[in-house]
Structure 1
Amino acid sequence: MMFVTLQKLTALTVIFCLFPNLTWGKETVTLCAEPIKVGFNDWAPYSWIDTSDNAVGLDVDMLTLIAANLGCEVDFIKMPVKRAHQMLKVGSLDMLMGASYTKDRNEYAYFSKSYRDEEIRLFVTADKASEITINQWQDIFNKKLTLLAPSYGWYGKDYLKSKAELIRQNLLVISPTTVQSVQMLAYGRGDILIGDAISLPYVANHSEDVAITPLALIVDSNKIHFMISKKAHHSELLEEIDQAISTLSNHGALARVVNKWQQISVAKTLKPCKEIIPSTGLDGAINITGHGSNSYVK
C-alpha cells in the first residue's frame, strides 16, 4: 500500500500560483483535525503515481484545491478499487474520488455535489474519422463495426443491453486495460473504441502516440462526485466540501483544472504495454491479455 502525503503549505503554494485571484473562505479555521484519507488507483489523467511517487492527476488536483479551501490536508492512498470501497464502508478511508452515484453506494457513503461531468464516447483513429460515422447505437450492428472495450468500466445502458448480441455477432473485442484497447485500434484489430471522453484521448496521445477522434454520438453522460464514508461520521465535512465546490466553481477554478489536464503533456509517466496475447473468453468475446494501466470503475 502506498501513502502519498501532500503537505498543506506545499499544496497552498501551488494552488495560489495557479489561481492567484481566488479568495479563500477558510483561512484560519481548520475543519480537519487529521488529514483526509483518500483511496485511489491508477487511472490517467484522473489519478496515478508519478515518477517521484506523488499522487497526480485531474481528480487529485480537484480534491487538493477543495481541501486547501477548507484548510485541510489530504493523504492519497493507492489501492485496488474493490479494496477502497470496502475500506470506505468500514470507515478506514474517509473519501473516494471520481464516483458516479448508485443506490448501493449510497448505503455506505455520502455523495458530494458534482464537481465535474463525465461523457462516454466512441472513438476512431484520426485517419478514419471521415470514413466511419455513428449517429445511433444501432449503427454498430447495421455497419458491422467491431467495437473495442476495456473490460473494467461503465459504458452506458445501450452497451449493457446489447453486449451479448455484440458478442454473438463477433463485434466485440474486450481487453483488460485502456492502453491495450488503444493499441488494438491502432493495429486495426477493431473499428471503434468506447470509453471516457477525457481519459481515452489522453492515453492514446501520451502512451501510444496515437491520434484518435470522437464520433458524434454521446453514448452516456454522468455527474461525478466525491464519496464520503458514513462510518467515519463526516456529515459536517460533506457540507463544507459542497460549499467549497460551489465557491470554486463560481470562481472558475475547477474549470481551469479540467482545462489544464486537457493541455498538459506528461507522456513519461505512462508506460505502454509491450505484449498482446489474444484469447477467447468464456462469454464468447475476444479477450486480450498483457500488461498495462487499468481503468477505474465508475
Structure 2
Amino acid sequence: MARLYLRAVLVLNVTLFSLSGTELAQAENTQSDVVSAPISVCFERWRPFSFIDHDGIARGLEVDLIKAAAQALNRTVEFSELPFKRCVANVKFGSTDFSLHVDKTDGLAIFSDTTTFWQLSLAVSAARFQTLGDFKTINTPRIMLATEYPYPKAVYRKLEALNARLVRRSYYEENDEHAKTFFDILTTKRVDAMLVDKQWAQHMIDKFNLPVNLLAQDFHREPQFIGYRHSNAHLAQQLEAALSALPEDVRTTIKNQYKY
C-alpha cells in the first residue's frame, strides 16, 4: 500500500513538473517573439536614399544601411512606403517604429547622426535658362514648392531675396514614370522653376533625358535624420549604435551602389 502511494506521488510530481516545463517553454517562446519582432520603418520614396524597386523590395542607401544594422542586432526590418506626413503620423501614433528623412521641425525625436542630406536646387527649363544669372533676370519668378514639407526658414529668406511668387503643389510620386511627368510643368511656363532635391532630380533628368537644368549653385542643404517617438528611445539607441558600428567597407559598398 505504501509503495502504491509513493508511486502515485511520484507520477503526480512528474506531471506537475511537465506542466511547469510547458508553461516555461511558452513563456520563453513569447519572450523570443517579442525580441525578434520586426523593426518597422516608414519612408517616402526618395532616390537614392529610399525607394521600392520593380520587385517590390525596399532599397536605397539609407534603407540598406538600416538592413545591415538590423542584421547586426539579429533583427529583421519591415519597410513601408507612404507619403511623408503619414510616415510621421504613424510614428507619433505608435504603429511604426521609425520614419526616415525627418528633421527638428517634424516633432519627433531624432538620431544624432545622419548620412542623408536634402540638397535643394532650382530646376528650370533648359530651353529658357542656362545659369542662375539668366534666371535672376526675371523680376518676380514663379517658383514651385511642395505642399508636404515644412521648409527651413533659410529657404524662405532666399526665396524672398529672389522676390519669388510661391506656387504650391504635391510632390508625391509613386514611380519614376510619374516623376517624369512631374517636370512637364516647366515646359508649359506655368512656373519658372521648381525647388527640388538635387540628387533625385538629377537621376530623373539623366534617366529620361529631360530638357531640364539644375542651376549650378545649390539653393540650400539640410541634414535629414531617422525619427522616432520618445517612448521608443531604447530601440532607437540600439539601432543608432548598430549603424555607428557598421564597418567602413560595408558602408562604402552600400554607398557605391547608389552613386549617380
TM above 0.5, one fold?
yes
Q: 1:125 to 1:258 in 2, by over 3 A?
A: farther
* 154 and 52 in structure 1: CA distance in 2 versus 1, 3 angstrom threshold: same
TM-score, length-scaled by structure 1: 0.59
Distance 1:85 1:254 in 2: 26
CA–CA distance in structure 1, aligned partners of residues 219 and 159 of structure 2: 14
Max radius of gyration: which structure?
2
Do 1:119 and 1:197's aligned partners in 2 also have CA atoms closer than 8 Å?
yes
Match of 1:261 in 2: 258
Counterpart residue number, 1:175? 169
**1:148 and 2:133 are equivalent in the alignment:** no
- Return the structure number with greater helix share: 2
Displacement after TM superposition at 1:172 (Å): 3.9
**Secondary structure class of the residue paired with 2:185:** helix
The CA deviation at 1:73 is 0.7
Other-structure match for 1:218: 218
Q: In the alignment, does 2:199 pair up with 1:198?
A: yes
The residue identity in structure 2 corresponding to 1:240 is Q
CA deviation digits over 1:71-121, x for unaligned, max 9? 32101123443333233123221111122233x624xx3424213222111
1:42 corresponding residue in structure 2: 45
The CA deviation string for residues 130-158 of structure 1, in whole angstroms up to 9 with x for no partner, is x33259xxx74865433233333344425
1: CA distance, partners of 2:88 / 2:145: 24
Q: Distance between the aligned counterparts of 2:164 and 2:112, measured in 1? A: 41
**Distance in 1 of aligned mates of 2:184 and 2:222:** 26
1:262 is paired with a residue of what secondary structure? coil
Counterpart in the other structure of 2:121: 121
Within 2, Cα distance between the matches of 1:202 and 1:153? 21
What's the Cα RMSD here?
Answer: 3.5
**Quick one: which amino acid aligns to residue 239 of structure 1?**
Q
Structure 1: stretches of 5+ with no match in the other structure: 1-30, 264-298
Name the residue aligned to 2:92: 89
Quote how far apart the aligned CAs of 1:42 are.
3.3
Q: How many residues align?
A: 220
Given that 1:144 and 1:171 are in contact with CA atoms closer than 8 Å, whether structure 2 keeps it comes out as yes
In 2, Cα distance between the equivalents of 1:217 and 1:79? 31
Q: Name stretches of at least 5 consecutive residues in structure 2 with no aligned partner.
A: 1-33, 173-178
Pair 190,85 (structure 1): closer, same or farther in 2 beyond 3 Å? closer
Relative to structure 1, the CA distance from residue 163 to residue 117 in structure 2 (aligned partners, 3 Å threshold; closer, same or farther) is closer
Q: TM-score, structure 2 length as denominator?
A: 0.67
8 A contact 2:43–2:101 mirrored in 1: no
